[in-house]
Amino acid sequence: MNREMRELKGRLSEIHDLESAAALLQWDQATYMPPGGGPARARQLGTLRRLAHEKFTDPAVGALLERLAPQASGLPYDSDEASLIRVVRRDYERAVRIPAEFMARFQAHQAESYEAWARARPANDFAAVRPCLEKTLELSLELAGFFPGGAHPADALIDFVDPDTTVAVARALFADLRARLVPLVRAIASQPPADDACLRQSFPESDQLRFGTEVAGRFGYDFERGRIDKTRHPFMTSFSIGDVRITMRAREDDLGDALFSILHETGHALYGQGARRELEELPLAEGTSSGVHESQSRLWENVVGRSRAFWSFFYPRLQEVFPAQLGNVPREAFYRAINKVEPSLIRTDADEVTYNLHVMMRFDFELALLEGRLAVRDLPEAWRERVRADFGIAPADDRDGVLQDVHWYAGQIGGMFQGYTLGNILSAQFFQAALRAHPRIPEEIAQGVFSTLHGWLIENIYQHGRKYRPAELIERATGSPLTIEPYLGYLRGKYSGLYDLALGAPARAE
Amino acid sequence: MNREMRELKGRLSEIHDLESAAALLQWDQATYMPPGGGPARARQLGTLRRLAHEKFTDPAVGALLERLAPQASGLPYDSDEASLIRVVRRDYERAVRIPAEFMARFQAHQAESYEAWARARPANDFAAVRPCLEKTLELSLELAGFFPGGAHPADALIDFVDPDTTVAVARALFADLRARLVPLVRAIASQPPADDACLRQSFPESDQLRFGTEVAGRFGYDFERGRIDKTRHPFMTSFSIGDVRITMRAREDDLGDALFSILHETGHALYGQGARRELEELPLAEGTSSGVHESQSRLWENVVGRSRAFWSFFYPRLQEVFPAQLGNVPREAFYRAINKVEPSLIRTDADEVTYNLHVMMRFDFELALLEGRLAVRDLPEAWRERVRADFGIAPADDRDGVLQDVHWYAGQIGGMFQGYTLGNILSAQFFQAALRAHPRIPEEIAQGVFSTLHGWLIENIYQHGRKYRPAELIERATGSPLTIEPYLGYLRGKYSGLYDLALGAPARAE
């Protein structure tokens, strides 16, 4: 490794340390921090992120990248060093457009806004966070404004997390998906509803956590390099490849809430733990995009965790943990309960079929807010109307409406939601590719064995970190560009086995 | 506030943010971090502390202090701004002597050494940490070497934490105290031993925590600005005046362990929470010295927490929490159990009377190691010999010997222990002064009311942070310099009431 490369890596590693420290401050804020710590924490996060940004946008970094560019072109495209130069150069060119002063202001606002939301949501008090959210919209537009030339202000914001996906691309994709999902939702809605009363009993939190921990461990989550803590809104975060944590939230009256959120975050964590050690401390040791990250959480949560094969192994174990609650519930009844499709108010509780309608609603609101077609003050009512139109159910209060997701309150408006639907689509596309390579995967899952699937995902996705752009990674791993067909095939196959649907799909094909 | 002062405060606040982030990383390492996070955490701490050090030793800070010096001399001595300039100038002149490169190396070593100790102690494996400790000794001497001119290499190391106390001062003070403690220990040893079997039953950890939390809250510890977590070696840490945390360790077979360590750390935390809000984010918002800090932990743990008055209120409550274990144990028997004096192996478990012998032993070892009179490889044996000589008991294994304290493994050799005995001495001196001002304090304690005592401590000690040097603070608060007389009077009075001692002190005078 030559001197320039060493210097670049040294600088990147220092920046990574600052960012990891900031991530820990944020994890702490969401798990253990006492309320009195809030104001100082906001300042501290602002300082760390500002310093990281200042150090990354130092012209010396740009000069190093310039000098290293000719070397990179002589190296194999997928070598660590060529990839590092390519990815960091793209990050650098984006970062230098954002003033450090703006970053500090934005991060401080986000921390304050998160605290305000954490108070306002239980109190159902949108008015209390409205000024925060209005400022977030302003700041989101200011951020987008540093990247002029896009067809839509959201293009730049989406590009931060889902490169290769513009507003135009997402709109077309989502319109296509929506056109084919809505008939499926309607066909299911015309059937007698599934009975999920078995999930709405009393399940002690500690037992839920114990079972979730067992499943996460079997999936391959390494607890020597991770842990699970309680929070309001579950998330995965990473401070190094050796320390990738998830958080959970349990409801004693709803078995599904904690269980599937643990499986979901475990999927993210497997991606985080699966990066090659050589990428440690470098900007390559992360997921390549929000959509690909979400594909892993949804693959483990839904494609695996809500499958018949999975529960043929785990249901007897779950019954052992909750004998009084589930001892007399047949496995098939439980399987139908966890796959019940019904219009609902909460995105994270939604079934696989209606889930994307929640996402598309939020995506559309982001565009409308950024375009000025919708004002923040009108958002609660717009939300209620859209819930009525899409789901045909009574408007929620704001707690279960516009206040339900943390994203706009701890982040920005724009680019926050498209990744969820991209992830759903990709979860099926990746799983289909893994099955092509290893047709015995479903039988292994039915034995509680996940190593072949986990191994294929490490090999084709996790180990690479951010080395490949999402479009490259998808093409390499699955042999085709992103496509909604495997996902629709998966949904049709699964739900025509659960409901009596005249969809022309093979019955009970799952 | 003029431009220079604003700029100084801005710089100090940024440095404080980096240090607070480092403190959180360390808290996390000692509480929740999974083992795999260790190596990256060491690097991250090294980076944060190096950046803080680089920023503080920036010549621009020196230039600002120069320019502000004339202004300071025109302000009242105890004004916030004059104090800030005075204290920061002293810190600056010390910090610029330590190269940033050394600091990073030292901090990284300390984090690694802590991890090695955490593995070695349960395994009773001194050999595994010996190389670490040898390097720590080298680094401690290197650090002391940046401050030539002291009469002893430990002078500089002690000065970091206990200004006003040189090796010569401490040696004289400790010799005096030792000469008067040893007869007391011998007189007690000649009496029948107290029975503390009531403390060695089975006490569920969660109940211990619940009771400790109740007491801490009554003392005045604000849980909106703090919390208690589990760790191996209890400590207090602070990330802002609004976030001052303590940690605890419980043993189910020993009621005293968790209880008195919670009261101890609560004492530290009351000091941390008691600083004036105006000092937030500045280097003034900390304790003025290790000895004064320790005086607060010992005051609340011992002078208050092991007194008859305290337990006349709290013992019925403790019996409610542990009815099966303590329901039939009379209060006086319990009081005698928690004040049992006996030679022991573990410093943190030691009674008030023998405790200082543990401290003086470590202090002497630090001096011997730094002077080269003792080699690290001979330390375990030297430890065993000294335990035999001072306490007349069988040598411990290394787990309860040289491996028992975290200090040398996470810190340095030199300056780590004198504060404990200074703290014991001062705990009695401060309490005596508070009693002079408010003679009703003992009656209030017997009612479970601590606000007068807490208020006096806030007024005279806590609110000032580091504004006054320890010697100034002691003189202002108590009207005299540090003196061992109140402490000896306290011990003689209390223990002649517990044991039948011919010491000439008034019986049951406590």
Determine the Cα–Cα distance for residues A132 and B123; give it in Å rounded to an integer. Answer: 53
Task: Inform me whether the C-beta atom of residue B239 falls under 8 Å from chain A C-beta atoms.
Answer: yes
Q: Write the single-letter amino acid at B12.
A: L
Strands B228-230 and A243-248: unpaired
pLDDT given for residue B501 in this prediction: 78
- Distance between A271 CA and the closest CA of chain B, angstroms: 16
Residues of B in contact with A239 (CB under 8 A): 37, 40-41, 44
Record the tokens describing residue B151, joined without a space: 């009469």
Going from the C-alpha of B396 to that of each of A501, B250, B346, B362, B391, the distances in angstroms are 75, 22, 9, 15, 12
Determine the Cα–Cα distance for residues A237 and B351; give it in Å rounded to an integer. Answer: 44
How would you label A118-139 residue by residue, b for 16+ Cβ within 10 Å and e otherwise? Answer: bebbeeeebeebbebbebbbeb
DSSP one-letter code for B246: E
Per-residue pLDDT for A470 more than 80?
A: yes
3-state SS assignment for residue A239:
strand
Q: Write the single-letter amino acid at B29.
A: Q
Residues of A in contact with B32 (CB under 8 A): 32, 227, 229
Put simply, the answer to whether B41 touches A281 (Cβ < 8 Å) is: no
Determine the Cα–Cα distance for residues B226 and B237; give it in Å rounded to an integer. Answer: 10
Cα–Cα–Cα angle for B348, B352, B357, rounded to 5 degrees: 75
Element (H, E) at B36: none
Determine the Cα–Cα distance for residues B296 and B292; give it in Å rounded to an integer. Answer: 7
In the sheet with A243-248, reading across from the earlier edge strand, the strands are A228-230, A243-248, A236-240
What lies within 8 Å, CB to CB, of B356 at 6+ separation is B174, B177, B178, B181, B420, B421, B424
What lies within 8 Å, CB to CB, of A431 at 6+ separation is A299, A303, A304, A486, A490
Determine the Cα–Cα distance for residues B60 and B57; give it in Å rounded to an integer. Answer: 8
Per-residue pLDDT for B504 more than 70?
A: no
Task: Inform me whether the C-beta atom of residue A222 falls under 8 Å from chain B C-beta atoms.
Answer: yes
Kindly report the average pLDDT of chain B as a whole number: 94
Task: Inform me whether the C-beta atom of residue B216 falls under 8 Å from chain A C-beta atoms.
Answer: no
Whether A377 and A132 have beta carbons less than 8 Å apart is answered as no
How many CB atoms neighbour CB B65 within 10 A? 20
Which of A17, A34, A43 minimises the CB distance to B48?
A17
Q: Please tell me the least confidently modeled range out of A263-267, B41-45, B413-417.
A: B41-45
Question: What are the tens digits of pLDDT across the range A1-56?
Answer: 689 999 999 999 999 999 999 999 999 999 999 999 998 998 999 899 889 999 99
Per-residue pLDDT for B131 more than 60?
A: yes
Strands B236-240 and B243-248: antiparallel
DSSP one-letter code for A377: G
- Distance between B227 CA and the closest CA of chain A, angstroms: 7
Task: Inform me whether the C-beta atom of residue A54 falls under 8 Å from chain B C-beta atoms.
Answer: no
Catalytic residue numbers of B read 265
pLDDT given for residue B508 in this prediction: 40
Residue of A nearest to B12 (CA): A47
pLDDT given for residue B349 in this prediction: 85
Strand runs labelled E in B87-151: none
Determine the Cα–Cα distance for residues B469 and B481; give it in Å rounded to an integer. Answer: 12
Residues of B in contact with A35 (CB under 8 A): 224-225
Put simply, the answer to whether A44 touches B280 (Cβ < 8 Å) is: no
Residues A250-262 have a mean pLDDT of 93
Return the bridge partners of B238, or none. B244
pLDDT-based confidence at residue B506 (cuts at 50, 70, 90)? very low
Query: Of A341, A344, A390, A334, which Cα lies nearest the Cα of A363?
Result: A390
Determine the Cα–Cα distance for residues B246 and B215; give it in Å rounded to an integer. Answer: 14
Residues B129-138 have a mean pLDDT of 98
pLDDT-based confidence at residue A104 (cuts at 50, 70, 90)? confident
Residues B336-345 have a mean pLDDT of 94
pLDDT given for residue A502 in this prediction: 66
Task: Inform me whether the C-beta atom of residue A18 falls under 8 Å from chain B C-beta atoms.
Answer: yes
How many CB atoms neighbour CB A445 within 10 A? 23
Task: Inform me whether the C-beta atom of residue B14 falls under 8 Å from chain A C-beta atoms.
Answer: yes
Put simply, the answer to whether B226 touches A33 (Cβ < 8 Å) is: no
Put simply, the answer to whether A18 touches B47 (Cβ < 8 Å) is: yes
Per-residue pLDDT for B53 more than 70?
A: yes
Q: Write the single-letter amino acid at B359.
A: V
Determine the Cα–Cα distance for residues B332 and B336; give it in Å rounded to an integer. Answer: 6
pLDDT given for residue A510 in this prediction: 40
Put simply, the answer to whether B240 touches A28 (Cβ < 8 Å) is: no
- Distance between A119 CA and the closest CA of chain B, angstroms: 14
What lies within 8 Å, CB to CB, of A261 at 6+ separation is A234, A248, A249, A348
Residues B86-105 have a mean pLDDT of 92
Record the tokens describing residue B455, joined without a space: 């208020």
Percent of chain A with pLDDT strictly greater than 70 = 98
- Sign of the torsion angle spanned by Cα atoms A370, A373, A375, A378: negative
Residues B213-225 have a mean pLDDT of 98
Which of A21, A224, A229 minimises the CB distance to B36?
A224
DSSP one-letter code for A376: G
Calculate the CA dihedral of residues B339, B342, B346, B352 and round it to 10 degrees: 40
Task: Inform me whether the C-beta atom of residue A13 falls under 8 Å from chain B C-beta atoms.
Answer: yes
What lies within 8 Å, CB to CB, of B349 at 6+ separation is B256, B257
Chain CA centroid to CA A397, Å:
25
Cα–Cα–Cα angle for B368, B372, B375, rounded to 5 degrees: 85
- Sign of the torsion angle spanned by Cα atoms A317, A319, A323, A325: positive
Q: Write the single-letter amino acid at B121.
A: R
Going from the C-alpha of B474 to that of each of A137, B295, B431, the distances in angstroms are 54, 11, 12
Selected for mutation to probe chain A from B19, B44, B227, B236 (highest A CB count within 10 Å) is B44
Record the tokens describing residue A346, joined without a space: 């909460």
Kindly report the average pLDDT of chain A as a whole number: 94
Question: What are the tens digits of pLDDT across the range A349-406?
Answer: 899 999 999 999 999 999 999 999 999 999 999 999 999 999 888 777 999 999 999 9
Task: Inform me whether the C-beta atom of residue B222 falls under 8 Å from chain A C-beta atoms.
Answer: yes
Task: Inform me whether the C-beta atom of residue A51 falls under 8 Å from chain B C-beta atoms.
Answer: yes
Residues of B in contact with A13 (CB under 8 A): 43, 47
Put simply, the answer to whether B240 touches A37 (Cβ < 8 Å) is: yes
Record the tokens describing residue B96, joined without a space: 């610029």
Selected for mutation to probe chain A from B12, B13, B24 (highest A CB count within 10 Å) is B24
SS3 readout for A445-462: HHCCCCHHHHHHHHHHCH
Residues A424-440 have a mean pLDDT of 98
Strands B228-230 and B236-240: unpaired
Q: Please tell me the least confidently modeled range out of A450-459, B22-31, B182-191.
A: B182-191
SS3 readout for A300-312: HHHHHCCCHHHHH
Strand runs labelled E in A218-367: 228-230, 236-240, 243-248
Q: Left (φ > 0), alpha (ψ -120 to 50) or beta: where does B504 sit? A: left
Question: What are the tens digits of pLDDT across the range A259-275?
Answer: 999 999 999 999 999 99
Going from the C-alpha of A84 to that of each of A71, A91, A118, B40, the distances in angstroms are 12, 10, 38, 20
Return the bridge partners of B244, or none. B238
Residues B41-60 have a mean pLDDT of 93
How many CB atoms neighbour CB B497 within 10 A? 17
Whether B203 and B252 have beta carbons less than 8 Å apart is answered as yes
Strands A243-248 and A228-230: parallel
Whether A247 and A229 have beta carbons less than 8 Å apart is answered as yes
pLDDT given for residue B502 in this prediction: 66
Task: Inform me whether the C-beta atom of residue B47 falls under 8 Å from chain A C-beta atoms.
Answer: yes
B468 or B500: which carries more pLDDT confidence?
B468
pLDDT-based confidence at residue B108 (cuts at 50, 70, 90)? confident
Return the bridge partners of A247, or none. A229
Element (H, E) at B357: helix B352-371
CB pairs under 8 A between A and B: 127
- Distance between A446 CA and the closest CA of chain B, angstroms: 30
Catalytic, out of A112, A115, A265, A286: A265
How many CB atoms neighbour CB B146 within 10 A? 13
Question: What are the tens digits of pLDDT across the range A169-192?
Answer: 999 999 999 999 999 998 998 899
Residues A130-153 have a mean pLDDT of 96
pLDDT-based confidence at residue B348 (cuts at 50, 70, 90)? confident
Residue of B nearest to A273 (CA): B36
Whether A392 and A343 have beta carbons less than 8 Å apart is answered as yes
pLDDT-based confidence at residue A334 (cuts at 50, 70, 90)? very high
Determine the Cα–Cα distance for residues A78 and A279; give it in Å rounded to an integer. Answer: 13
Per-residue pLDDT for A472 more than 60?
A: yes
pLDDT given for residue A489 in this prediction: 97
Longest dimension (CA), chain B: 69
Per-residue pLDDT for A507 more than 50?
A: no
Selected for mutation to probe chain B from A240, A277, A282, A286 (highest B CB count within 10 Å) is A240
Put simply, the answer to whether A34 touches B227 (Cβ < 8 Å) is: yes
Q: Please tell me the least confidently modeled range out of A98-102, A296-300, A506-510, B390-394.
A: A506-510
Percent of chain A with pLDDT strictly greater than 90 = 86
Task: Inform me whether the C-beta atom of residue B223 falls under 8 Å from chain A C-beta atoms.
Answer: yes
Of chain A, the end-to-end C-alpha distance in Å amounts to: 50
Determine the Cα–Cα distance for residues A14 and B46; give it in Å rounded to an integer. Answer: 10
Query: Of A108, A126, A109, which Cα lies nearest the Cα of A117?
Result: A126
Task: Inform me whether the C-beta atom of residue A280 falls under 8 Å from chain B C-beta atoms.
Answer: yes
Q: Write the single-letter amino acid at A23.
A: A
Percent of chain B with pLDDT strictly greater than 90 = 86
Put simply, the answer to whether A48 touches B280 (Cβ < 8 Å) is: no
Determine the Cα–Cα distance for residues A262 and A391; give it in Å rounded to an integer. Answer: 27
Residues of A in contact with B48 (CB under 8 A): 17-18, 21
DSSP one-letter code for B254: B
Determine the Cα–Cα distance for residues A183 and A116; give it in Å rounded to an integer. Answer: 40
Query: Of A393, A313, A3, A363, which Cα lies nearest the Cα of A173?
Result: A363
What lies within 8 Å, CB to CB, of B70 at 6+ separation is none
SS3 readout for A170-223: HHHHHHHHHHHHHHHHHHHHCCCCCCCHHHCCCCCHHHHHHHHHHHHHHHCCCH
